[in-house]
């Protein structure tokens, strides 16, 4: 990797880390404080240098496949939604085949703060970063000091012997390199491994009628525990969660221990901000999202008399709509009775913004605001994700789930650029056909007009897609 910076070292005067506590309420109990991680206040010039290096390092890792393909943290085209779409797709297909699956959510403690410098430099070298570039990263990591600033008091400086600074631009990408071999180790035991930075999720498939504890699962947990210990990382086994999806096999009481803690399935788990239940009904997630959105909507209602329409719209989109839209591709195919709560929140937000009374019909209000109803917003997200996946702007682990049909180069416009949709012999359950990404995404894509399927640029596609969905949502034919 060739560096383009004039200096081969990171300036020492930019290495001081000032930590400002996020909470200033000393009355809070220690358990509450343990859930908050202070963010470092780093010099602006240092962040500018980091950003220049980040672009080069990202491009280098993409060109050389230097990151694990299932690592989605802080990578273009990847995100929490792509991870969850892939995981739920796997879970639905596993239950469709009559089997079951275990989803294990590892909880790692203060991982950014315990990165070992020698191991970090070694793993950078293993990723292909050599020579002057490696020397620069060695200079960037070492010889840092930290002080804590609280109100008008500043503590003495203390040297940092490990860890990458919270809030530094390069830290997330460096951590992705640091934990790359963790996923490879899990897959060597036959488990799938999905990561978003330090959020690691393992997926174990169980065949129909399994009556014994899989030996590879126990061996995998032991190997992972040893790897984490050798990498100076600590797993919080007490907070590690397990979701059992599929038919019950009576194996829940036979699960192995992990780092001394007994593992047991939970009825719901929170994965990357989304609540997943054992049957993937998404009812718990919809209830949680609507509750949060309603809370912020009540706050916005108190501010409404003091804000202009434009400012109020900004507040609503930032605090309410963003929560309704978060990972809403997971809502595609679920019953309308489940998503009713989301529609109620959106309707209330539209009435607040336009000062529309309850007795007035909501459809003209949504049409005036040019807001897609919540169900159509999920379809929009799914189709945009499909477009990105097909044309190299999404993760490879989703691209592998889609394939073009043999009609792709047909002379008939209606049969061009069609995706293969698995049939009833391959997918047995109706809920799998409607909700699994690898089945529902191709079906939705094939329903698009030929001129939209033929598009290759994201901007024009998203504009045409929203217009097309808008006409159908409000019957504007």
Same domain, 335 and 404: no
Of the residues 345, 371, 397, which one is the last residue of a structural domain?
A: 371
**Which residues, in sequence order, are bridge partners of residue 194?**
201
Same domain, 272 and 404: no
Task: Give domain status of residue 398, yes or no.
Answer: yes
Residue 85 contacts residue 385 (beta carbons within 8 Å): yes
The pLDDT of residue 331 is: 96
Task: Give domain status of residue 146, yes or no.
Answer: yes
Task: Give domain status of residue 336, yes or no.
Answer: yes
Q: CA-to-CA distance for 297 and 317, rounded, in angstroms? A: 10
**Which residues, in sequence order, are bridge partners of residue 153?**
150
The pLDDT of residue 177 is: 93
The pLDDT of residue 359 is: 87
Range of the domain at 452: 376-474
> Which stretch of DSSP H or E encloses residue 226?
helix 215-230
Same domain, 253 and 132: yes
Same domain, 432 and 416: yes
Same domain, 435 and 384: yes
Q: CA-to-CA distance for 152 and 340, rounded, in angstroms? A: 50
Task: Pick the closest to residue 433 from 93, 176, 26, 39 (CA basis).
Answer: 93
Query: If DSSP codes are grouped into helix, strand and coil, which group holds residue 145?
Result: strand
The pLDDT of residue 49 is: 86
Query: If DSSP codes are grouped into helix, strand and coil, which group holds residue 19?
Result: strand
177: left (phi over 0), alpha (psi -120 to 50) or beta: alpha
Task: Give domain status of residue 330, yes or no.
Answer: yes
Same domain, 100 and 157: yes
* Contacts of residue 438, Cβ cutoff 8 Å, sequence gap at least 6: 89, 93, 401, 402, 422
Same domain, 248 and 295: no
Of the residues 224, 242, 277, which one is the last residue of a structural domain?
A: 277
Token couple for 274: 């989304």
Residue 378 contacts residue 437 (beta carbons within 8 Å): no
The pLDDT of residue 197 is: 86
Same domain, 94 and 148: yes
The pLDDT of residue 163 is: 82
How does pLDDT run across 214-229, given as a tens digit for each residue? 788 889 999 999 999 9
Task: Pick the closest to residue 465 from 343, 383, 370, 405 (CA basis).
Answer: 383
How many other CB atoms sit within 10 Å of the CB of residue 191?
A: 21
Same domain, 170 and 265: yes
Angle at 148 between CA 142 and CA 153, to 5 degrees: 140
Q: How many domains does the chain have?
A: 3
Task: Give domain status of residue 149, yes or no.
Answer: yes
> pTM, whole model, 2 decimals?
0.89
Residues of the chain with pLDDT under 50: 2-6, 23-27, 31, 33
Same domain, 272 and 190: yes
Same domain, 308 and 452: no
Of the residues 277, 293, 311, which one is the last residue of a structural domain?
A: 277
The pLDDT of residue 151 is: 76
Task: Give domain status of residue 329, yes or no.
Answer: yes
Same domain, 333 and 202: no
Task: Give domain status of residue 2, yes or no.
Answer: no
Task: Give domain status of residue 4, yes or no.
Answer: no
* Contacts of residue 37, Cβ cutoff 8 Å, sequence gap at least 6: 22, 110, 112, 166
Question: How many residues belong to the chain?
Answer: 477
């Amino acid at each position: 990797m060739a560096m383009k910076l004039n200096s081969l070292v990171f300036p020492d005067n930019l290495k001081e880390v000032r930590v400002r506590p996020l909470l200033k309420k000393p009355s809070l109990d220690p358990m509450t404080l343990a859930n908050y991680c202070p963010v470092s206040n780093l010099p602006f010039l240092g962040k500018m240098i980091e950003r220049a290096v980040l672009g080069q390092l990202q491009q280098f890792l993409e060109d050389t496949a230097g990151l694990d393909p299932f690592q989605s943290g802080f990578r273009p085209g990847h995100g929490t939604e792509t991870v969850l779409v892939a995981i739920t797709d796997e879970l639905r297909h596993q239950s469709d085949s009559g089997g079951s699956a275990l989803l294990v959510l590892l909880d790692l403690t203060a991982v950014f703060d315990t990165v070992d410098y020698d191991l970090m430099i070694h793993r950078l070298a293993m990723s292909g970063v050599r020579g002057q570039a490696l020397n620069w990263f060695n200079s960037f990591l070492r010889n840092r000091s930290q002080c804590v600033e609280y109100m008008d008091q500043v503590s003495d400086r203390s040297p940092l012997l490990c860890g990458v600074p919270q809030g530094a631009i390069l830290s997330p990408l460096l951590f992705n390199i640091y934990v790359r071999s963790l996923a490879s180790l899990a897959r060597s035991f036959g488990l799938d491994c999905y990561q978003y930075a330090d959020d690691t999720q393992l997926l174990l498939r169980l065949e129909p009628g399994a009556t014994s504890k899989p030996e590879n699962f126990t061996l995998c947990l032991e190997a992972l525990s040893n790897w984490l210990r050798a990498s100076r990382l600590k797993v919080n086994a007490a907070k590690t969660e397990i979701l059992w999806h599929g038919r019950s096999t009576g194996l829940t009481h036979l699960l192995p221990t992990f780092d001394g803690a007994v593992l047991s399935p939970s009825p719901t788990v929170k994965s990357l901000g989304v609540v997943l239940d054992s049957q993937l009904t998404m009812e718990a997630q919809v209830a949680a999202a609507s509750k949060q959105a309603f809370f912020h909507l009540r706050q916005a209602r108190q501010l409404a008399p003091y804000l202009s329409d434009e400012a109020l719209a900004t507040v609503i989109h930032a605090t309410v709509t963003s929560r309704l839209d978060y990972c809403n591709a997971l809502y595609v195919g679920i019953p309308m009775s489940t998503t009713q709560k989301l529609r109620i929140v959106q309707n209330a937000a539209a009435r607040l913004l336009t000062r529309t009374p309850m007795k007035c019909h909501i459809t003209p209000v949504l049409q005036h605001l040019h807001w897609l109803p919540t169900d159509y917003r999920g379809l929009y997200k799914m189709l945009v994700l499909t477009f990105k996946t097909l044309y190299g702007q999404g993760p490879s682990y989703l691209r592998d789930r889609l394939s073009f049909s043999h009609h792709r180069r047909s002379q008939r416009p209606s049969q061009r650029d069609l995706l293969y949709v698995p049939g009833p012999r391959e997918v047995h359950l109706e809920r799998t056909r409607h909700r699994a990404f690898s089945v529902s995404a191709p079906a939705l894509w094939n329903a698009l007009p030929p001129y939209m399927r033929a598009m290759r640029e994201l901007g024009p596609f998203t504009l045409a897609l929203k217009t097309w969905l808008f006409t159908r949502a409000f019957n504007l034919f």
